[in-house]
Structure 1
Amino acid sequence: MELRNEEEILEAKGVDISLKDLSNKLEEFAKARDWEKYHSPRNLLLAMVGEVGELSEIFQWRGEVDKGLPNWKESDKEHLGEELSDVLLYLIRLADICGIDLGDAAARKIVKNAIKYPPKVMF
């Protein structure tokens, strides 16, 4: 289901959405615009790197920032959310095009990291 207007977008705002749901929406979006021919792994990776650059620019001259960004304007937080979303959406699309179940891969990686980096035991 593709969101068609601002009202539908606002209604969807508070809804939990899975990686699979996002994947399906991205596939529909690309098909509707005949963009699939451009969605090679290389092209998607380069587009994602460009978005990471845009994300980096937001933090470039701010120095360290506090958790939760309490001193940021709402418009700056909104811009940050947009750039984070761009990176996430390209990552999901890249994983799909490469045949990787990103949710499964991430869950497995968390388990591997837990084994590799066990918690410190305090006595």
Structure 2
Amino acid sequence: MNESVNESVNRSVEELQRRLVEFAAARRWQPYHTPKNLAAALSVEAGELLEIFQWLTPEQAARVMDDPEGAHRVRDEVADVLAYLLQFCAVLGVDPLEALAAKIDRNELRFPVPDGPVGPPARSR
């Protein structure tokens, strides 16, 4: 990513985090926004995203965005997951984009491009 795009993305993430912090503060929710509670909420919302796909075949799952109601549900759950993740990062002072970039760097070293046939991805740690 070039530097100006990177700066724009960082500003966008920071702006979303600021809006989420202000939203919670206006409702006096900060005492409840502990790392444990936010991690639990993030897990619940990720579970709700998974629930959409729970009994779908791979073919049905690949077409879920073709249905307006299904697409709406997916977008809402993605938003909930991202919102809780950004709030979690704000509380702990984690830069999510920096953390992701560092993780990708480590994974590129851990999982070099194979020479032969490719299998399923290994579980990331």
Range class of TM-score, shorter chain: 0.7 to 0.9
Structure 2 unmatched ranges of 5 or more? 1-8, 117-125
Give the secondary-structure state (helix, strand or coil) at the position aligned to 1:18.
helix
Q: Does 1:88 align with 2:82?
A: yes
- Which residue is equivalent to 1:52? 46
Question: 1:105 and 1:71 mapped to 2: Cα distance?
Answer: 29
Output the aligned Cα RMSD: 2.2
Residue 71 to residue 43, structure 1, CA distance change in 2 (3 Å): closer
Q: Which of 2, 18, 22 is the matching residue for 1:28?
A: 22
Question: 1:72 and 1:54 mapped to 2: Cα distance?
Answer: 19
Q: Which of 36, 50, 73 is the matching residue for 2:67?
A: 73
State the Cα distance separating 1:66 from its structure 2 match: 6.2
Question: 1:70 and 1:47 mapped to 2: Cα distance?
Answer: 24
State the Cα distance separating 1:120 from its structure 2 match: 2.7
State the Cα distance separating 1:71 from its structure 2 match: 7.0
Structure 1 unmatched ranges of 5 or more? 1-15
TM-score, normalised with respect to structure 1:
0.76
Q: Does 1:117 align with 2:117?
A: no
Moved over 6 A (4+): none
Question: 1:87 and 1:121 mapped to 2: Cα distance?
Answer: 36
Identity fraction in percent? 36
TM-score, normalised with respect to structure 2:
0.75
Higher helix content, 1 or 2: 2
In structure 2, what residue type is equivalent to 1:44?
Answer: L
